Amino acid sequence: MPEFQYVDEPPKIRRAGGRPGLWCLRLGPLTERPQQWARVRVMKPDTARRTAYLLRKGELTLPFGTTTDQWDVVARVIGGEGHIFARYTGRRKQFQAPAQPEQDNG
């Protein structure tokens, strides 16, 4: 049987030298204006699509104390350039189990 160690939350991950990652710094200010979309970066279209995907999956470092379910991130190609748009929703999506059918006890 596996052994678990329960903790309040995992340790914060920082880059070498103790600095937060690029996306942590770039997205951090968006937490001050929840629900407001912002264009956060312009890059090559393929890079923008891949970066948006990695942010949604949590494979790039988000601002400390936030999780992937608190962010909306999309990439759009406009005029041949890849634009990344993001917004902080401020809420965590709740998992809801499917409703169980009522049982007839009669």
> What's the pLDDT tens digit per position in 42-100?
999 999 999 999 999 888 888 877 888 899 999 999 999 999 999 999 876 555 555 65
Structure tokens at 96: 């809801």
Average pLDDT over every residue of 21-48: 92
Domain count, the chain: 1
Whether residue 42 is contained in a domain is answered as: yes
Q: Put residue 9 in one of left, alpha, beta given phi > 0 → left and psi -120 to 50 → alpha.
A: beta
CA distance 98 to 89: 24
* pTM score over 0.75: no
Give domain status of residue 70, yes or no: yes
Q: Residue 66: which domain range?
A: 36-91
In a domain, 8, yes or no: no
**Residue 49 is assigned to a structural domain of this protein:** yes
The verdict on residue 19 lying in a domain is no
Residue 67 lies in a domain: yes
Helix (H/G/I), strand (E/B), else coil: 57: helix
Asked if residue 14 is part of any domain, the answer here is: no
Contact 37, 71 (CB under 8 A): no
Bigger pLDDT: 38 vs 18: 38
